[in-house]
Amino acid sequence: MKVLVTGGAGFIGANFVHQTLSERPGTQVTVLDKLTYAGNPASLDDVRDQIVFVQGDVADAEVVDPLVADADLVVHFAAESHNDNSLLDPSPFIQTNLVGTFTLLEAVRRHHVRYHHISTDEVYGDLELDDPSRFTPTTPYNPSSPYSSSKAGSDLLVRAWVRSFGVEATISNCSNNYGPYQHVEKFIPRQITNLIDGVHPKLYGAGENVRDWIHVLDHNRAVWAIIDKGRIGETYLIGADGEMNNKHVVEMILELMGYATNDYKHVNDRPGHDMRYAIDSSKLRAETGWAPQFTSFRDGLADTIEWYRNNEAWWRPQKEATETKYSKQGQ
């Protein structure tokens, strides 16, 4: 099988490339990545001789079309994905997440190529802290940021191209990922790398916001389960029953790294900060048989901490610019 992975130098995409080559021998992988700040070619150093790498923009039809024409499957990870950045400048989110998805959909329609669309649970908005319900594939979309609204729009484009043009596509909406190769601007790696540098972690507001955490390896195995066994036109939610509020995550990181659990600083909450995400992945599990391998968030977090300790050469070049940006924002 020839697989085109967009955003394959990013966090989840790079892990997907590594897993695919390891777990599916014989698969030919082409990576398309624009190499913005979130795409790191070093994430693919170990497999560079096993893949074809193309630096380019998913919104550039001249680049996209021949790559799709030569593929059996497109897995679309490429996205602008940071809420804070979308509040500062929404325009790249519109261009990549909406125009990029449109460009890919038109290419797979022309060439009759199977397509899988990676999305986020943030398209559903948020839940109240005391609400026992979880997001399901039929939960109405209610995005609250330029990032999540652009991802919601991209999901709807996929659904329309399936219905209007018969594109063979599936969608997955996943909860918060953590694990190797995640940019240090993100919540968990930022706290880990701060502590490696002897800097107190920073916590938005009271830290009561709840996220449903899943290890990136479990996410990507679910993606393959959907590609292999999912029904065309369907949406599957990927989650590992990993609900935990941000305060507890920070405290667990501190404990695992040998610090007092209260050794963190509060900073001002960000505008429109969603309170709680929670995934009901029962449809995915029932139809594909998938189940997470990292059933303990603590174990997965310990593995992640160890990875960042052992791979400072990968994340160190990103760190100074990231912290400078946050410092200017008072965070």
Respond yes or no: is residue 147 known to be catalytic.
yes
- Three-state DSSP class for 6? strand
Among 33, 57, 122, 251, the one annotated catalytic: 122
Given a contact cutoff of 8 angstroms between Cβ atoms, the answer to whether 167 and 115 are in contact is yes
The enclosing H or E element of 245 equals: strand 243-245
The answer to whether 247 and 191 are in contact (CB under 8 A) is: no
Side chain identity, residue 109: R
Q: Give the active site residue among 147, 178, 277, 308.
A: 147
Q: Could you give phi then psi for residue 5, rounded to 5 degrees?
A: -110, 110
Residue 122 is a catalytic residue: yes
Per DSSP bridges, beta strands 169-174 and 235-238 are parallel
- In the set 33, 57, 80, 121, the catalytic residue is 121
Q: Is 121 a catalytic residue?
A: yes
Summary count for the chain: helices (H), strands (E): 12, 12
- Residue 126 token pair: 């948020």
Point out the residues that are catalytic.
121-122, 147
